[in-house]
């Protein structure tokens, strides 16, 4: 992780923090010991995240269901020895929730925009996430520099682009775990030729609700590099 800039991370007086969505029932149990840090992360998203332009103010009343928990469920497919590259990490989604859920895994937040990287540095430092490293770059620039067992992405381009960008930084047997919406089937049809050309597995779409926590389940597309 790069050197941390000095920031005031006292969020106690921020008015937007009081407007954060109440976590769905079962959230504390789902995060376990990481729950206080998850709460702190939610406060960052609702305050400094809005101020720095990382998240829209209208998202505050659905921070847990639409963003934090929506991303945390990806951790169900992460092993403790995985090295995860979170592409276009932005506000740390899904990388930071995964890091909270899987403290033994190594998480690399990949983000090209300087302002976002500075915010990520501030938040990761404040949360004390020792398993997180931040890299300012585009993922396609990391060929020959980084290798990942898992690539994660949320709202980052179509599957065809994601495959092209990441195929050379995924280790053999590694996989893509992409959070996608209802239109993912159409994206996968367009990616069919690339999947065959690069000897990737047939995609699996996991519908995950965190054991009933999410009213609207997340869709996680899994593709394995043979």
Annotated binding site for S-adenosyl-L-methionine: 88, 93, 139-140, 154
Nearest to 224 by CA among 206, 208, 202, 191: 202
- Known binding residues are 88, 93, 139-140, 154
DSSP string, the chain: -PPPPP-----TT-GGGGGSPPPPTTHHHHHGGGHHHHHHHHHHHHTHHHHTTSS-GGGGGGIIIIIIHHHHGGGGG--TT-EEEEET-TTTTTHHHHHHH-TTSEEEEE---HHHHHHHHHHHHHHT-TTEEEE-S-GGGGTTT--EEEEEEES-S-HHHHHHHHTTTEEEEEEEEEEE-TTHHHHHHHTHHHHHHTTBPPPEEEEE-TTTT-SS-EEEEEEEB-
Contact 54, 47 (CB under 8 A): no
């Amino acid at each position: 992780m790069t050197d941390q800039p000095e920031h005031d991370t006292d969020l106690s007086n921020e008015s937007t923090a009081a407007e954060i969505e109440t976590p769905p029932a079962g959230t504390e149990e789902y995060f376990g010991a990481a729950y206080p840090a998850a709460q702190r992360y939610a406060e960052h998203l609702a305050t400094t995240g809005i101020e720095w332009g990382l998240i829209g103010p209208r998202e505050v009343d659905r921070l847990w269901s639409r963003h934090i928990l929506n991303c945390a469920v990806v951790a169900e497919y992460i092993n403790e020895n995985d090295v995860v590259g979170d592409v276009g990490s932005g506000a740390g989604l899904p990388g930071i929730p995964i890091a909270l859920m899987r403290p033994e895994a190594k998480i690399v937040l990949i983000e090209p925009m300087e302002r976002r990287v500075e915010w990520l540095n501030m938040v990761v430092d404040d949360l004390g996430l020792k398993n997180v490293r931040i890299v300012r770059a585009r993922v396609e620039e990391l060929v020959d520099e980084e290798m990942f067992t898992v690539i994660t992405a949320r709202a980052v381009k179509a599957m065809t682009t994601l495959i092209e960008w990441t195929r050379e930084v995924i280790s053999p047997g590694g996989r893509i775990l992409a959070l996608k919406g209802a239109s993912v089937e159409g994206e996968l049809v367009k990616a069919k030729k690339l999947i065959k050309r690069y000897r990737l597995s047939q995609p699996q779409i996991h519908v995950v609700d965190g054991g009933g926590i999410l009213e609207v389940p997340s869709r996680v597309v899994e593709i394995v590099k043979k």
